Chains A and B, each alone.
Chain A
Amino acid sequence: MYLATTGRRDAPPRPTGTRRRVPGTVLALGAVSLVTDVSSEMVTAVLPLYLVLGLGLSPLQFGLLDGLSTGATALVRLLGGAGADRGGRHKQIGGLGYALSACSRLGLLLAGGATGGIAGALAADKLGKGVRTAPRDALITLHSPPEDLGRAFGTHRAMDTTGALLGPLAAFALLWATAETYEAVFAVSFCVGAFGVLLWLLFVPGRQRDEPPRETAAPRARGGLLTALRRSPAYRRIVLCAALLGAATVGDSFLYLLLQRRLDLDATWFPFLPLGAAGVYLLLAVPAGRLADRLGRRGPLLYGHGALLLAYGLLLAPVPGAAALVGVLVLLGVFYAATDGVLMALTGPFLAEGRQAGGLAVVQTAQALARLGAAVAFGALWTASGPETALVAALLALTAALCCAARLLPSVPTPEGSTT
């Protein structure tokens, strides 16, 4: 079989019953993501201010460039995944992605306000993000026991989110200390990013850490990215479900916008809404991952989308504004905690040896493109017949997608010697 579970027979026996430790590699990958997210969220937080105040650029003009580069990321992600699988160059390709993003901060500094230079730097950042995601997730898959994948991804995502929460705080502190010198934020962000790259180089092992070349293992899969799709019906069904569920996910910004309208929320507080959801995500990522390992990963994935369904419902229900606010934020956090890493953990065991990065990239891209489509469709429906109708449609679509996913999603193949 072309399942990653083959060739794991040589894994050392683990203590059963007691709490096993998260693999060091996963912690190293998590640390890299944490540091890198501090670096990138620092820039994201101050970029709008910099563009308008520092440079006097027209923001609407810049939105155009932003949208363009988002589409390109999907393609880059697939390329990154496929490239990493060739000869197992996860470390090289992922490192390239991290380095590209770190260097984009230097680009921002050097551009010194030239529109073209800034657009280039932002594109380089997105490119780096797209390239590195699949190799990194593949490394998590490769270096964790299959039965602990949920917890491994949960741990990684929790560390990642911690970085995303710390980044803006660091940026605000810097702006305050330097009387709004945006260049200082970019310079510090570069230093932090470079430290992340160094962590990657020093502590993240290549694909094969301490495994001797395995002649007995399944032969490397050959052919293009889509080979995995052809070979494994279970994987094919996961990709389909990721796309189906993605197509019924309207996007956080719309939910925040609906919340803000519902509560007539003061705009000063608006940027803090996503922080609330991120906090819940951070707290629940590891428990949700452990639960996924214990109960199987289908359940949390489906229940997570159920939480999103409840959030849609809560926005339509006649409940007090404060209850809607808290409820939606918590449910969104639950949704991300129960689905983001869990989807990767579900996919991992179904992937052919040597095809992990590409396989994960296909799932992520299918999901991302479906979500992009959903956002466009939701916006169009809102425009055509108002927000309530659009929300009802999203609710129905998600219900339908959930029903399909519940039938289609495969369970994890039981790995040998699995302990529960």
Chain B
Amino acid sequence: MNTTASTRARAAILVLALLLLGGGATAYTLRAASGRAAATGTADPGFTLDRGAGTLYVRDTASGRVARVDPAAPGGRVAGGPSCDRFHAAGPTALCLQRRPGVPARSYVLVLDRELREVRRIALPGIPSRARVSASGRMLSWTMFATGDSYARSAFATRTSILDLRTGYLVKNIEQIPLTLDGRRHHAPDVNYWGVTFAADDNRFYATVSTGGRTHLVEGDMRNWSARALRENVECPSLSPDGTRIAFKKRVSDGPREPWRLYVYDLRTGREHPVAERRGIDDQALWTDAETLAYGYGGAVWSVPADGTGTPRQLAADASSPAVPG
């Protein structure tokens, strides 16, 4: 048996440790809490998307706000937009995904007009991942990472929504769309969609579907509410303005380090080619015009010709979510 003396010694050690560890934990927390900063939700007056065709908008990493890239401005940009974690704009519509603080992860989906005034606000669970507006500005889609699907595991699922602004109809999760894979109707518990891109008719769309450890390019039809897989190993498709080519990221290595490369696939010829970007891009590329792609990499926004020639060029440092509202 232990003597009372040793019991007392152990209790003393325990109390000492409690003080030391508790003190350390408290100190660390207080230090961390002192650095908190408030974010602004809305755009500054006068900051709109009407700054002429071809103007590039990005998310400014430092402020978290949407910024207009302007070489004449100090720092090369004017960060007067709303705070967004993901941003895209086209036609008369802008889409801003804004994470709300707290756990479990929740976000706001903000639909804005060209003056960046709020048109509609939707609260959804998840972490913003992809945002896309169709060229007409009528169809919106976004993807959220959902962490709750597998509580107590560090695995993820995605939820992709589609919003039709003409009717106001919202599909919160397109997971239940009847999917044809290899010519057969496909059921699976692990079906995940992400990265939607719309065709000019605002009916057809392309997206990534993942199931059984593989990813596929799917072509979806809003009116018939159906989807079919076209091609394997495609993620985050982006349809060219003329609707003939799709830029996407393709898995080229199984390792966790830089597994993807950016490719362009020609829908008419069925041929694909890599672009002149050798690094592992994990973003949904954006066609800034008929021949050029923009994407985020390493905390900056880059651009590269879509035809496989040329070299990557940095468009904006400390930025993400490129958009050219036109």
Q: Footprint of B on A, CB under 8 Å?
A: 41, 44-49, 51-53, 58-66, 115, 119, 122, 164, 168, 171-172, 174-181, 183-184, 187-188, 191-192, 194-195, 198-199, 202-203, 210, 253-254, 256-257, 266-268, 270-271, 273-275, 379, 382-387
State A199–B10 Cα separation when bound (angstroms): 9
Whether B151 lies near A210 (C-beta < 8 A) is: no
* Most chain A beta-carbon neighbours within 10 Å: one of B14, B125, B129, B152: B152
Instruction: For B39, give the chain A residue with the smallest CB separation.
Output: A179
- For residue B200, CB closer than 8 A to chain A, the reply is no
Known: A172-B103, A379-B190. A61 touches B259 (CB 8 A): yes
Complex Cα spacing A273 to B152, Å: 12
The answer to whether A383 and B10 touch (CB under 8 A), given A66-B155, A171-B103, is no
Interface residue? B1 (CB, 8 A): yes
Known: A181-B32, A385-B187. A48 touches B156 (CB 8 A): yes
Contact partner of A188 (CB less than 8 A), chosen from B10, B29, B154, B257, is B29
Contact A379 B156 (CB under 8 A): no
A175 touches B10 (CB 8 A): no
Q: Which residues of A contact B126 (CB under 8 A)?
A: 267
Q: Which residues of A contact B154 (CB under 8 A)?
A: 44, 47-48, 51, 62-63, 66, 122
Pairwise interchain contact B148-A267, C-beta atoms closer than 8 A: yes
Binds A, one of B16-24, B72-80, B221-229, B305-313: B16-24
Alpha-carbon distance between A192 and B29 when the two chains are bound, in angstroms: 13
19 A-B residue pairings within 8 Å (CB atoms): A53-B127, A62-B156, A115-B257, A122-B154, A177-B33, A178-B33, A181-B35, A183-B32, A188-B29, A194-B21, A253-B149, A254-B189, A267-B124, A270-B125, A271-B104, A271-B151, A379-B189, A379-B190, A383-B187
Q: Given the complex of chains A and B, what is the CA–CA distance between A47 and B154 in angstroms?
A: 7
Docked Cα-Cα span, A179 to B127, in Å, equals 16
Q: Are B210 and A210 in contact (CB under 8 A)?
A: no
Contact A270 B282 (CB under 8 A): no
Nearest 6 CB-CB pairings of A with B: A179-B36, A271-B148, A59-B156, A48-B147, A181-B32, A184-B32
Against A, the Cβ 8 Å flags (1 = close, 0 = not) of B60-97 are 00000000000000000000000001000000000000
List chain A residues, Cβ under 8 A from B212: 383
Name the one of B10, B32, B33, B210 contacting A203, with C-beta atoms under 8 angstroms: B10
The answer to whether B148 touches A66, judged by C-beta atoms less than 8 angstroms apart, is no
- Contact (Cβ within 8 A) A383 B189: yes
* Cross-interface CB contact of B159 among A122, A253, A267, A379, cutoff 8 Å: A267
Complex Cα distance A101/B314, Å? 42
Q: Does B108 contact A (CB under 8 A)?
A: no
Docked Cα-Cα span, A203 to B10, in Å, equals 8
Interface residues of B in 150-178 (CB under 8 A from A): 150-156, 159, 173
How large, as a class, is the contact surface on chain B? 35 or more
| CB closest residue in chain B, given A186 | B28
Q: Please provide the chain B residues from 1 to 22 with a CB less than 8 Å away from any CB of chain A in the complex.
A: 1, 10, 13-14, 17-18, 21-22
Q: Does B145 contact A (CB under 8 A)?
A: yes
> B52 within 8 Å of A by Cβ?
no
- A59 to B126 CA separation, bound complex (whole angstroms): 13
Question: Contacts A175-B103, A386-B187 hold; do A202 and B13 have CB atoms under 8 A apart?
Answer: yes
Shortest beta-carbon distance from A267 to chain B in Å:
4
* Separation of A63 and B154 alpha carbons in the complex (Å): 7
Given contacts A63-B155, A379-B190, A49 and B105 within 8 Å (CB-CB): yes
Q: Is B183 an interface residue (CB 8 A)?
A: no
CB-CB under 8 A for A202 and B33, given A383-B189, A387-B187: no
CB neighbours of A268 from chain B (8 A)? 104, 106, 125, 148
Beyond A198-B14, A203-B10: 18 further Cβ-contacts under 8 Å?
A44-B153, A48-B105, A52-B147, A59-B145, A62-B154, A64-B256, A179-B36, A187-B25, A188-B25, A188-B29, A191-B21, A191-B22, A195-B17, A270-B146, A271-B148, A379-B189, A379-B190, A384-B187
Contact between chains at A48 and B189 (CB < 8 Å): no
Q: Give the chain A neighbours of B36 by CB distance below 8 A.
A: 178-179
A386 to B178, CA, bound (A): 13
Per-residue A-contact encoding for B25-59, CB less than 8 Å = 1, 0 else: 10011001101110000000000000000000000
| B21 neighbours in A (Cβ, 8 Å) | 191-192, 194-195
Whether the pair B188, A267 counts as a contact (CB closer than 8 A) is no
Q: How far is the CA of A184 from the CA of B24 in the complex (A)?
A: 11
- B26 nearest in chain A by CB position: A188
The answer for the CA separation of A191 and B5 in the assembled complex, in Å, is: 27
The 8 Å CB contact of B103, one of A49, A60, A195, A274, is A49
Among A47, A60, A176, find the residue whose CB has the most chain B CB atoms closer than 10 A: A60
**B186 contacts A by Cβ under 8 Å:** yes
Indicate whether B216 reaches chain A with its CB closer than 8 angstroms. no
Complex: chain A residue closest to B186, CB-CB:
A383
Task: Verify B32–A379 contact, CB threshold 8 A.
Answer: no
B-side contacts of A202, CB under 8 Å: 10, 13-14
Tell me, in angstroms, the Cα distance from A188 to B22 when the chains sit together: 8
Give the distance to chain A from B316, nearest Cβ to Cβ, in Å.
16
Minimal beta-carbon separation of B7 from chain A (angstroms): 10
In chain A, what residue has the closest Cβ to B176?
A261
Judged by a CB distance under 8 angstroms, whether B292 is at the interface is no
The CA of A178 and the CA of B26, in the complex, are separated in Å by 11
By beta carbon, the residue of chain B nearest A48 is B147
- Checking A175, A273, A384 against B151 with a beta-carbon cut-off of 8 angstroms, the contacting residue is A273
Known: A48-B145, A180-B101. A382 touches B32 (CB 8 A): no
Inter-chain contacts of A210 with B (CB < 8 A): 1
User: Nearest residue in A to B181 (C-beta to C-beta)?
Assistant: A383
CA distance A93 to B188 in the complex (A): 42
Chain A residues, Cβ within 8 Å of B24: 187, 191
Q: Does B102 contact A (CB under 8 A)?
A: yes
Closest to A258 in B: B189
Task: Tell me whether B211 is interfacial, beta carbon within 8 Å.
Answer: yes
CA distance A61 to B230 in the complex (A): 23
* Min distance, Cβ B302 to any Cβ of chain A, angstroms: 15
Contact A192 B25 (CB under 8 A): yes
Q: How far is the CA of A65 from the CA of B147 in the complex (A)?
A: 16
B261 at the interface (CB under 8 A from A): no
Report the Cα distance A365→B326, complex, angstroms: 60
- Report how far A361 CA is from B125 CA in the complex, Å: 39
Q: Bound state CA distance, A45 and B150, in angstroms?
A: 11
With A53-B99, A386-B187 as contacts: A257 and B32 at CB distance below 8 Å: no
The smallest beta-carbon distance between B232 and chain A, in angstroms, is 15
Known pairs A51-B154, A253-B150; A176 contacts B188 (CB<8 A): no
With known contacts A58-B282, A192-B25, A267-B159, A172–B147 Cβ distance under 8 A: no
